[in-house]
């Protein structure tokens, strides 16, 4: 279901881009080329149609986006970040080996027992 809605969102986006590119904010876009007298729809009706189509596509894009967020597959989420993983894998500082301080003298070597 999610895949179908995603495809519909892409199709709506493509149509919306095409319709917006056809329009002109001053009313002279591609719709002004259809001003011949034998045209069924005049320039004004074409501009009205393009505006209504833009609003319809915008509303349908919003509705499809909300529907897609509701139908998104929700599997077992094992989303532990790399930082959380590093924190969990660190060693306890008290379990680290103790290194000799500069003030401590090294232990005397054991006497040679081979003599």
- Whether the full predicted model's pTM is greater than 0.75, yes or no, is no
Q: What is the pLDDT of residues 86-109, one digit of tens each?
A: 777 777 767 666 666 766 665 555
Which pLDDT band holds residue 83 (cuts at 50, 70, 90)?
A: confident
Give the range among 11-20, 44-53, 56-65 with minimum mean pLDDT: 44-53
Helix (H) or strand (E) holding 42: none
The domain segmentation of the chain, as residue ranges, is 1-14+47-72
Give the dihedral sign, CA 78/82/84/89: positive
Could you give the percent of the chain with pLDDT greater than 90? 29
Q: Are 24 and 32 in contact (CB under 8 A)?
A: yes
Q: Are 106 and 100 in contact (CB under 8 A)?
A: yes
Whole-angstrom Cα distance, residue 91 to residue 14? 54
Q: What tokens does 3 get?
A: 């895949």
């Amino acid at each position: 279901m999610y895949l179908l809605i995603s495809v519909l969102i892409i199709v709506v986006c493509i149509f919306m881009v095409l319709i917006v590119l056809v329009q002109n904010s001053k009313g002279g876009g591609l719709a002004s080329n259809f001003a011949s007298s034998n045209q069924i729809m005049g320039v004004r009706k074409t501009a009205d149609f393009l505006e209504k189509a833009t609003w319809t596509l915008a509303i349908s894009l919003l509705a499809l986006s909300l529907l897609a967020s509701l139908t998104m597959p929700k599997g077992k989420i094992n989303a532990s970040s790399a930082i959380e993983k590093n924190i969990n894998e660190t060693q306890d500082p008290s379990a680290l080996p103790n290194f000799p301080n500069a003030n401590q003298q090294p232990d005397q070597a054991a006497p040679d027992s081979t003599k």
